[in-house]
Amino acid sequence: MSTRIERREFISLLGGAAAWPVGARAQQRGKLPTIGFLGSGTPAAQSQWAAALVQRLRELGWIEGHNLAIEYRWAEGRSDSATEFAAEFVRLKVDLIVTYANPIVLAAKQAASGVPIVFAAAADPLGTGLVASLARPGGNATGLSIQNTDLVGKHLELLRDLIPGLRRLAIMVNVGNSASVLEMRAVQAAARTIGLEVATLEIRRSEDISHALEELRGHAEALYVCIDTVLFANRIRISTIALGDRLPTMLSNREFVAAGGLMSYGPNFPDLFRRAADLVDKILRGAKPADIPVEQPIKFDLIINLKTAKALGLDVPPTLLARADEVIE
């Protein structure tokens, strides 16, 4: 069942109310400017991302409970819940929706076509059709790309640094997510270029994961997990089964590694959400999403779970540990 959370924080900080276009219109309607925050997962896993957004908004003068209201909803990896919540935001007449993860962004765009949308993190927004152009997105959405397909080569390089004799790679992909499929294709092409044998585990729902990993047993030396909301929601299950099968994992974000995965390399998500707040600020000041260019990540993190590495019997080279932004022990 999806989680619904309504949050009101009345915080008194220095700084006056902003007399900006959306604020003026909202006051005429008798309510504060309102953001609908549509989380792709759960608050337990991703509330720190929302906190980064809210903190940056405060720095920009938008103080929740003072001159800004935020409605929080959490889709728990379900596109149907995202559609329901986006429709609810339309009924609530929110001024803007902040969301992330391609299936959730797409659901929001379809259900709330007349509401400005800022996506804090989306995989290949141009290639997956979220925007018409990176420079001029058109439509009602803009935000930040996570450049996942551009990082494929780096992911494979890191895996080979950790597993020098790597020959057989498995790729787990949700074939119902176009962003995940694009990443899978990029991994397949890059892996074959460097002589790796590739097996692909295609899933569409949570129930497919355990069976796919069972079929893989003994046929791969590492597992590459493509970015996806369903796979993220099942990160503990995936990490636990992979560890039991002594299968090293390459992942896209810290939360997967904290759940027992081996290693991730990708954008720093709190930083993405802070930068998303700057785009929210522009829209609240009167800018249109169609005219705000999609931005790229500038801060990337390498996270290594040393406890998992030891359980797998892997010796992490000191040079690789030295490059890590965080080592989980």
Q: DSSP per residue over 93-138, as a string?
A: T-SEEEE-SHHHHHHHHHH-TTS-EEEEEESSTTTTTS-S-SSS--
Q: What pLDDT was estimated at residue 226?
A: 97
Cα–Cα distance for residue pair 146/300, rounded to 1 Å: 10
Shared domain check, 282 and 231: no
Who contacts 306 (Cβ-Cβ below 8 Å, separation ≥6)?
316, 321, 327, 328, 329
Q: What pLDDT was estimated at residue 1?
A: 42
Shared domain check, 294 and 312: no
CATH number at residue 9: 3.40.50.2300
pLDDT tens digits in sequence order for the chain, 329 residues long = 444 443 333 223 223 333 335 544 454 445 899 999 999 999 998 999 999 999 999 999 999 999 999 999 999 988 899 999 999 999 999 999 999 999 999 999 999 999 999 999 999 999 999 999 999 999 999 999 998 999 999 999 999 999 989 999 999 999 999 999 999 999 999 999 999 999 999 999 999 999 999 999 989 999 999 999 999 999 999 999 999 999 999 998 999 999 999 999 999 999 999 999 999 999 999 999 999 999 999 999 999 999 999 999 999 999 999 999 999 99
Shared domain check, 130 and 32: yes
Q: What pLDDT was estimated at residue 31?
A: 84
Q: What pLDDT was estimated at residue 58?
A: 98
| Domain containing residue 77 | 3-146+268-299
Number of structural domains found in the chain: 2
Q: What pLDDT was estimated at residue 22?
A: 53
Amino acid at 31: K
Shared domain check, 244 and 156: yes
Shared domain check, 243 and 155: yes
Shared domain check, 80 and 45: yes
Shared domain check, 310 and 171: yes
pTM of the model: 0.87
Shared domain check, 182 and 305: yes
Shared domain check, 319 and 247: yes
Q: What pLDDT was estimated at residue 77?
A: 87
Cα–Cα distance for residue pair 92/231, rounded to 1 Å: 31
Shared domain check, 122 and 187: no
Q: What pLDDT was estimated at residue 275?
A: 98
Q: What pLDDT was estimated at residue 30?
A: 57
Shared domain check, 317 and 170: yes
Shared domain check, 183 and 135: no
Cα–Cα distance for residue pair 57/98, rounded to 1 Å: 12
